[in-house]
Chain A
Amino acid sequence: MGVAGKLGNLGVVTTTLEAAINWGRTKSMWPMLFGLACCAIEMMSTQASVYDLSRFGMELMRPSPRQSDLMIVAGRVTRKMAPVLRQLYDQMPDPKYVISMGDCASCGGIFNNYAIVQGVDEIVPVDVYVAGCPPRPEQLIHGIMTLHEKIKTQRIADWA
């Protein structure tokens, strides 16, 4: 009787440890609540009602780097902000991932001048770049899905 009886024997699912860990990592990835500029507004839109990032188990933005797995660098990184951003990244626990959202964070965008770091990858390692000025919420979601795909290919043997 019960669900198991009706659906047949579902008692055992075989998988690899790697796949199980990577699946867990993708399904409850908590981004850091960390907005810099215009892209942060689109990041908020992604979180909010219409685009609803909670479909991917990612609605919980953590204001503290100690509790977050993913840093979405949303906006232009200035030379004054760069050391702060690096410190935040250093404070995040492993495994940690970085999405560079928007043109400014990816390569400086239209601001090639004295104030803006020409790409956040000069400071922290970046996993996924999302183009756009600012990227649409769909583009950010696509970037996040790309990161999920990347995580699913990670191997325990490569853990440092």
Chain B
Amino acid sequence: MSERPLLNSTGHSTGVTEWEGTVQELQGLVSPRALTGETMLLNMGPQHPSTHGVLRLLLELDGETVVSCIPDVGYLHTGIEKSMESKTYEQAITMTDRMDYLNPMGNNLVYCLAIEKIAELDVPERAQIVRVLLAELTRINSHLVWLGTHCLDMGAMSVFLYAMREREMILDIFEMVSGQRMMSTYFRPGGLWRDVPAEFIPAVKAFMDYFPAKIEEYETLLVNNPLWIDRTQGIGVITPEDALAYGCTGPTLRGSGVNWDIRKAMPYMGYETYQFDVPLGEHGDVYDRFYIRMKELYQSVRIINQALARLEKAPAAFRSNNRKYVPPPRSELGRSMEAVIHHFKLWTEGFSLPEGEVYVSIESPRGELSCFLSSDGGNRPHRVHFRTPSYVHTMGAIPKMAKDGMLADLVGIIGSVDIVLGDCDR
């Protein structure tokens, strides 16, 4: 392998180097037949419209059959985990938004849960309800983008336009609460950044009245559509045993019929008090993974309706009163010297967490999203690591599903697993 500096248009080095390799270096990754030219090596990505970002797959093809599929990740490696070590705990929340950019609230949530667990910080009831509500709205948001792009990959254009139309309404709600459409950074350790505005509940209610009919509309277009069924049923099958062995979680695992949902198995934020079902597939193919995501949309609507009813009766406190971690409200600053000191300390050096390590998991739209947080007693994370579903699915499940399938089905398989490369590479 040789290294070559990348020059810019004026002939100066850009500090970026290109690597040049030979096919011999693939020995051990591909079958010996590929090195003799008997099978064909095909590069897919990183710029490919159906890889949902910058995934690169090296495919070994025998005719149209995929002999092996080698994922090459890291084209979106952002160094988020390392950058978080140089930020205070509260500053680092902004980084988590940008990991899985279709699930920003979920990323905030898992990171805040880790801080709250290590600090034994309480979260008021109102904040818990709003967190559940927004996490489920984020799930709908993520599933809508998945639905749109998955259908686009499979050649159904109109579903994309419908799904994006509904998604804008959710983004309007996010903007209402946090001021930002996507990167909300709304969840903070001990609760929320601020209380939800007065127009929040009517807006969510209006969306809840509007949305279920739209899910039915998507289902009318797809569920019994013979073209869709031909393209998805029996494709990319993964058995329950294999799915477990390859570390699949979320809809990818439940599509194979394994009942595993972190919201039920290890409830957080009071999920155990909500009534909802976990849709399960049977065959573990692309269609089943599609179908249970559609059913999950209905379950999210159910959870949001319950959360709305609770939110109307919930007490007003939206953030913990533990002044070691949560800055005092503005109104206290004029009255209390202690509040001024806390305010100054928290906004200059941030809070310090007790020494220790925690690991928490949540159910993200894609599967099990976990945060490992190690604290050395300082005001910055000693080490943060995220166990992200996209990475596990890209490295394990996609090559397994693609093997011995057809090349044209690979696009459907990638879409059905719903990877987000920001989540994968971080």
Interface residues of A (CB under 8 A from B): 33-38, 40-42, 44-45, 48-50, 61, 63, 65, 75-76, 78-84, 86, 88, 110-117, 122-125, 133-134, 136
Contact = CB atoms under 8 A, between A and B. Distances in A.
Nearest to B82: A113
A49 B165 contact: yes
A48 B160 contact: yes
B79 interface: yes
Given A41-B145, A45-B168, A122-B15, A115 B79 contact: yes
Contacts of A134: 181-183
Given A84-B47, A88-B47, A41 B182 contact: yes
B157 to A, nearest CB: 11
B385 to A, nearest CB: 16
Interface of B: 6, 8-9, 14-18, 46-49, 53-54, 74-80, 82-83, 94-95, 98, 101-102, 145, 148-149, 160-162, 164-165, 167-168, 171, 181-183, 421-422, 425
B164 A44 contact: yes
Nearest to B75: A81
Nearest to B165: A49
Contacts of A133: 183
Contact of B78 (A86, A116, A123): A116
Given A78-B77, A114-B79, A50 B14 contact: no
A83 B18 contact: yes
> Which of A42, A86, A124 has the largest number of chain B CB atoms within 10 A?
A86
A63 B75 contact: no
A108 to B, nearest CB: 11
Contact of A37 (B17, B53, B181): B53
Contact of A111 (B48, B75, B78, B181): B78
B164 A48 contact: yes
B98 A80 contact: no
B101 A41 contact: yes
12 contacts: A44-B148, A48-B148, A48-B161, A50-B165, A78-B77, A80-B77, A81-B54, A82-B6, A83-B17, A84-B46, A111-B80, A115-B79
* Dominant secondary structure at the B interface: mixed
A130 B173 CA distance: 24
B46 A81 contact: yes
B183 A38 contact: yes
Instruction: Sort A-B residue pairs by CB-CB distance and give the 9 closest, nearest first.
Output: A48-B164, A38-B101, A115-B79, A83-B18, A113-B79, A63-B49, A49-B165, A82-B16, A49-B161
B54 A36 contact: yes
A78 B78 contact: yes
A88 B54 CA distance: 13
A111 B80 CA distance: 8
Contacts of A125: 9
Contacts of B149: 44
Given A34-B47, A49-B161, A50-B168, A42 B182 contact: yes
B15 A76 contact: no
A80 B77 CA distance: 8
Nearest to A111: B78
Contacts of A117: 14, 16
A112 B82 CA distance: 11
Contact of B101 (A37, A45, A115): A37
Nearest to B13: A122
Contacts of B82: 113-114
A38 B162 contact: no
B214 to A, nearest CB: 12
Contacts of A35: 53
Contacts of B16: 79, 82-83, 117, 122-123
Nearest to B12: A122
Nearest to A125: B9
Interface centre among B9, B98, B160 (most CB of A within 10 A): B98
A41 B94 contact: no
B14 A122 contact: yes
Contact of B181 (A44, A123, A136): A136
Given A83-B6, A84-B47, A113-B82, A45 B167 contact: yes
Given A49-B162, A125-B9, A136-B181, A37 B422 contact: yes
B14 A123 contact: yes
Contacts of B48: 63
Contacts of A48: 148, 160-161, 164-165
A86 B9 CA distance: 10
A76 B78 contact: yes
Nearest to A82: B16
Contacts of B76: 36-37, 75-76, 78, 81
Given A81-B46, A113-B79, 6 more contacts: A81-B75, A82-B14, A113-B78, A114-B79, A116-B79, A134-B182
Given A37-B53, A41-B182, A84 B83 contact: no
Contacts of A65: 47
